[in-house]
Structure 1
Amino acid sequence: MAAKCRFFDTTLRDGEQTPGVSLKPAQKLSIATMLAEIGIDTVEAGSAAASEGEREAIRLIAGAGLSAEVATFVRALQLDIDYAAECGVDCVHLVVPASDLHIRAKMRKTREEVCTMAWDAVEYAKERGLVVELSGEDASRADPAFLAHLFRGGVERGADRLCFCDTVGIMTPEKIAEVVPGLLFAPLSIHCHDDLGFALANTFAALKAGASAAHVTVNGLGERAGNTPLEELVMAMEVLYGTKTGIRTEGLYHLATEVSKMTGVPLPVNKAIVGEMAFTHESGIHAHGVLREASTYEPIGPERVGRTRRILLGKHSGSASVRAALKELGYACDEVQLAEIVARVKSLGDEGRRITDADLMAIADSVLNLVREPVIRLRQVTVVSGSNVVPTASVTVTVNGEEVTCAATGNGPVDAAVEALRRSITGLGEIRLEDYRVDAISGGTDALVDVTVCLSRDGRMLTSRGARTDIIMGSVEAMVAGMNRLLEEQR
């Protein structure tokens, strides 16, 4: 592979084309800033011709003084290029159809007409002072000779870079290795889609065959099955190929989770690098090995991508992982007590329960005969929500024996109730909700829901759960249990 790979991130353009995703200008600027901070070379900020709101976002990003080059998608039209120049971008990603299928069925033109449009657009963009990356759309189904002709003509007219697009994800590494060497008239990028699960493999094949840049998206976002995932490509290059990418990898997890929140596209729990379970262990043998020597069951340390290791407890857990979890929670016990705690943990696991920190603490308290007076006792919860009504919640609790009533509004009834609870203990310090998950335990409209929350206070994180048929009360139950545990430690 090339000594230095350029990373062209298209999360804000191709990634935003994920069905249901629509980012506000401020969100786009936030993501672009994070991308630049971790070392991305080019940020494709959107499509300037799409809408005025899109142009507003592109202008914000272009004027933010980012270290990354700012690009925008354009068609072979002067109006698109004018929009791009007016937005102040550095580069245009000029995309033209390359396959006969796209040329005839979509464009209703001839090969000659497409070449003329593309080459004229290149010249016009260069006149406007823009860097030009000329992309062949659906290049994987194009006639190789025609694609080479299109690219060569573009370079002769001033195109700075070229891009091979596997638009519908049908290439294989073997085919990529054959076609790329014949297209190196200028620095070549590879743009892969993951329809058949080959985006990452095809991107590597292209880089090994002479391409010097890769188009990527955070979390593999994109149309249909998505694009090549930034985090997976970077870490595979660093770990498996020993290539220094220049990317600040410790920022990858934060970037992934922020993009997930803003787009509303959840991370698959088993996703490589950034999925919830990527550095989580439950199996007794695995957990024991990791506790003794992390590399036994981890290819990289979680800290390298900005994460921490987690040991989950369940029916597969052994005494070593339970002891480690108890120690982290501040408990000390003898072998007999540990055996009893392990037995109870396995019993809960056999019931299909996810065992949280609060669950383990309750088990340990029972086995060790520890009596704790809860800091918070819930008295009542009232929630108002509906069409044309701002969700509002009121809670009454006793905090260290004193009654407190607080109200709050939120994005929804659960958000309002959680915020009201947080306000009720303001005098004792801030507790933040870091993660929230709901699982349906049974089917039907009367389904029992299992709510798991992750709370933090002064750098200490703790998970707790609540199970009710009412999602609001399940959430409140989980919050109160977790808040009590964090506050009990302080007391």
Structure 2
Amino acid sequence: MNVYNPVDVLKPNLYKSIFPYSEIPKVVFNNIQLPMELPENIWITDTTFRDGQQSMSFMTVKQIVKIYDYLHELDNGSGVICQSEFFLYSDKDRKAVEKCRERGYEFPQITSWIRADKRDFKLVKDMKIKETGILMSCSDYHIFHKLNMTRKQAMNKYLSIAESALEYGIIPRCHLEDITRADFFGFVVPLVKNLMGLSKKSGIQVKIRACDTLGVGVPYNGVELPRSVPAIIHGLRYYCNVPSESIEWHGHNDYYGVVTNSTTSWLYGCSSVNTTLFGIGERSGNCPLEAMIMEYAQLKGTTKNMNLKVISDISDYFQREFNYKIPVRTPFVGSEFNVTRAGIHADGLLKNEEIYNSFDTEKVLNRPIIVAVNSYSGLAGIAAWINSYFKLKSDKKIDKNDERVLSIKKWVDEEYKRGRTSNIKNDELKEIVLKYFPNILNDDKTKAIEA
């Protein structure tokens, strides 16, 4: 097996022309255009119980198992949500793994995470975990200033723990921490080539997780390394000979780019994207799992047999169980992500909901369109609210020109003339609607509202 040495340097390469620290990082272009190569098979992995859990109150074993059940229900046997990552350090962590393993689910598969330390590796062996993530910090920021090592010393440490994993038949998933500030050709390429050599020698797949630890990755084509997501994925595949199915992207949202960067990694040949539910995680968060399901659906034209309605169940659970506050306008999971307040939008929804809704949110997510009634809603907004709340279809729908709608609007206008600033609540509207439409609940389609 060929051994590749890093370009050892006396002083760390911190790319100060790109990351001056006293200023916002720079984007440097080289205009090299790389081809998009979306793999035939792409999938999502989850680190809610590892990276995500560090950013919120710790979960109990019961809560972890419940969320794991939800992930299984969401995946629904599709294999799109293929893995979930766990800590192994505490008794609680290990008990949670055991309880989840007892479920016997094929998906998500249970994996673990450790530091590049043989003492940590003993936990993996003892738990009989089939695959583990191994932290391999690869930027000089980490090698010189955190580990206090040279590049060669760091590489030898990483390769040693990877060899230990392979000796026991455990798949090592090598987490190349801070790859978007690392010397790609001076350290990343020789490290990964050596790892691929170990993979070939052992006959066991070695996985590479490219970690955009500070979220500084850039999705545009023609950007210089180390920030270029296309160049990183392209480089891992063509300079290091890592197959697409062995590459995983792990991003953070420090610059609002986590979803775009994750999708870009898919587009340039990475098969796997690492996520957390609702993007919980360090600093500004990880990549939201629910966002990548939507990206998957758009890129592949299918959701396979995933049950996307479970997304709403998980959202309700997090808010109820952990008192976790999801911003109300968060796409797909916020309580008001498909609420319209503008009168002109409500008028469009009244005519055809596809005008202002890009997919059937009620069918797919169990989240019907909602119209909030306020001083700007107008007749159309009130009529749209009635039709939505009482689930009136086709010929049963109330028209905005109905005189009774005008009477309700007069009541709404009076509320705001008296100084009201908040939206009209559903219970208030229901009461006033029943005053003017006393028979509206007689329709079989609306009786369920009373339940």
Alpha-carbon distance between aligned partners in 2 of 1:5 and 1:349, rounded to the nearest angstrom: 52
Q: Take 1:317 and 1:101, find their aligned partners in 2: how far apart are those partners?
A: 54
Deviation readout 1:323-365 (Å, 9 max, x if unpaired):
3544655998994332121122244356212212221133346
CA contact (8 A) 2:263 2:295 kept: no
How far, CA to CA, are the matches of 1:227 and 1:141 in structure 2? 18
Q: CA deviation at 1:171?
A: 1.1
The structure whose RCO (Cα within 8 Å, separation 6+) is larger is: 2
**Is 2:26 the partner of 1:2?**
no
Matches within 5 A, 1:277-292: 277-292=336-351
Q: Give me the whole-angstrom Cα distance separating, in 2, the residues matched to 1:105 and 1:349.
A: 60
| Unmatched segments (≥5 aa) in structure 1 | 371-457, 462-485
- Residue number among 185, 188, 192 corresponding to 1:147 in the alignment: 188
- Structure 1 residues 253, 367: CA separation in 2 closer, same or farther (over 3 Å shift)? closer
Equivalents in 2 of 1:34, 1:215: separation in Å? 17
**Counterpart contact for 2:350–2:383, Cα < 8 Å:** no
Q: Report if the CA contact (8 A) 1:323-1:338 is conserved.
A: yes
Number of the residue aligned with 1:177:
230
The answer to whether the 8 A contact 1:28-1:45 is kept is: no
Instruction: Give the 5 Å matches for 1:325-364.
Output: 325-326=385-386, 328-329=389-390, 335-348=402-415, 351-364=420-433
Amino acid at match of 2:302: K
Indicate how the Cα distance of structure 1 residues 200 and 365 shifts in structure 2: closer, same or farther if over 3 A, else same: closer
In structure 1, what is the equivalent of residue 274 of structure 2? Answer: 215
Look up the equivalent residue of 1:169 and give its one-letter code: G
Aligned residue identity for 1:59: E
2:15 is aligned to none
Q: 2:101 aligns with which of 55, 58, 62?
A: 62
Deviation per CA, 1:279-300, whole angstroms, max 9, x where unpaired?
Answer: 2122222122123222211112
Decide which of 116, 127, 140 is 1:100's aligned counterpart. Answer: 140
How far did 1:10 drift?
0.7
* Partner residue of 1:164 out of 195, 199, 210: 210
- Pick from 14, 32, 35 the counterpart of residue 51 of structure 2: 14
User: How far apart are the structure 2 equivalents of 1:89 and 1:348?
Assistant: 62
- Quote how far apart the aligned CAs of 1:141 are: 0.7
Distance 1:34 1:111, change over 3 A: same
Pairwise CA distance, 1:219:
0.7
Tell me the distance in 1 between the aligned counterparts of 2:447 and 2:121.
49
**Cα displacement (A) at 1:201:** 0.9
Displacement of 1:234: 1.6
- Pair 215,365 (structure 1): closer, same or farther in 2 beyond 3 Å: closer
Q: Is the contact between residue 345 and residue 360 of structure 1 (CA under 8 Å) also seen in structure 2?
A: no
Contact 2:346 2:384 in 1 (8 A): no
Aligned counterpart, 1:309 = 369
* 1:5–1:212 contact (8 Å) kept in structure 2: yes
Structure 1 counterpart of 2:302: 244
1:369 Cα deviation from its structure 2 partner: 9.8
* 1:28 Cα offset (Å): 0.8
Match of 1:14, SS state, is: helix
Task: State the alpha-carbon separation in 1 of the partners of residues 438 and 359 from structure 2.
Answer: 40
**SS of structure 2 residue aligned to 1:277:** coil
2:84 aligned counterpart, secondary structure: strand
SS state at 1:276 partner? coil
Q: Secondary structure at the match of 1:191?
A: strand
Question: Which residue matches 2:22?
Answer: none
Instruction: Write the letter of the residue equivalent to 2:427.
Output: A
Q: 1:242 to 1:288 in 2, by over 3 A?
A: farther
TM-score, normalization: structure 1? 0.70
Distance 2:358 2:404 in 1: 34
Structure 1 position 130, deviation (Å): 1.9
Structure 1 letter corresponding to 2:236: L
Q: Report the alpha carbon displacement of residue 77 of structure 1 after superposing the two structures with TM.
A: 1.5
Structure 2 gap segments, 5+ residues each: 1-37, 200-204, 221-227, 440-445
Deviation of the 1:245 alpha carbon: 4.9
1: CA distance, partners of 2:133 / 2:414: 57
TM-score normalised by structure 2 residue count: 0.76
Structure number with the higher strand fraction is 1
Distance 2:154 2:447 in 1: 58
Quote the offset at 1:213 in angstroms: 0.6
Match of 1:43 in 2: 83
Q: Matched residues in 2 for 1:141 and 1:260: separation?
A: 36
Q: Secondary structure at the match of 2:270?
A: coil
What residue number does 1:272 align with? 331
Aligned to 1:417: none
Who is 2:20 aligned against?
A: none
Alpha-carbon distance in 2 for matches of 1:339, 1:254 = 37
Post-superposition shift, 1:320?
A: 3.4
CA 1:342–1:130 in 2, change beyond 3 Å: closer, same or farther?
same
Contact 1:59/1:88 (8 A) holds in 2: no
Amino acid of the residue matched to residue 345 of structure 1? V
The change in CA–CA distance for 1:197 and 1:188 in structure 2 (over 3 A counts) is same
Deviations 1:227-273 (A, max 9, x none): 1111112213323x344354433322222332343443211111111
Matched residue of 1:12: which SS?
Answer: helix
Judging changes above 3 Å, is the alpha-carbon distance between structure 1 residues 38 and 85 closer, same or farther for their aligned structure 2 residues? farther
Paired residue type of 2:258? A
* Secondary structure of residue in 1 paired with 2:345: helix
2:125 partner amino acid: A
Q: 1:459 & 1:253 partners in 2: Cα distance?
A: 24
Sequence identity of aligned pairs in percent?
Answer: 22
Change (3 A) 1:347 1:147: farther
Distance 2:110 2:250 in 1: 17
Partner of 1:384: none
Does the 8 A contact of 1:167 with 1:193 survive in 2? yes
The one-letter code sitting in structure 2 at the alignment partner of 1:3 is E
Question: Structure 1 counterpart of 2:339, which letter?
Answer: T
- 1:428 maps to none
**Aligned residue type for 2:51:** D
* Structure-to-structure mapping, 1:189-228, within 5 angstroms: 189-228=248-287
Alpha carbons of structure 1 residues 364 and 38: separation in structure 2 relative to 1, 3 Å: closer
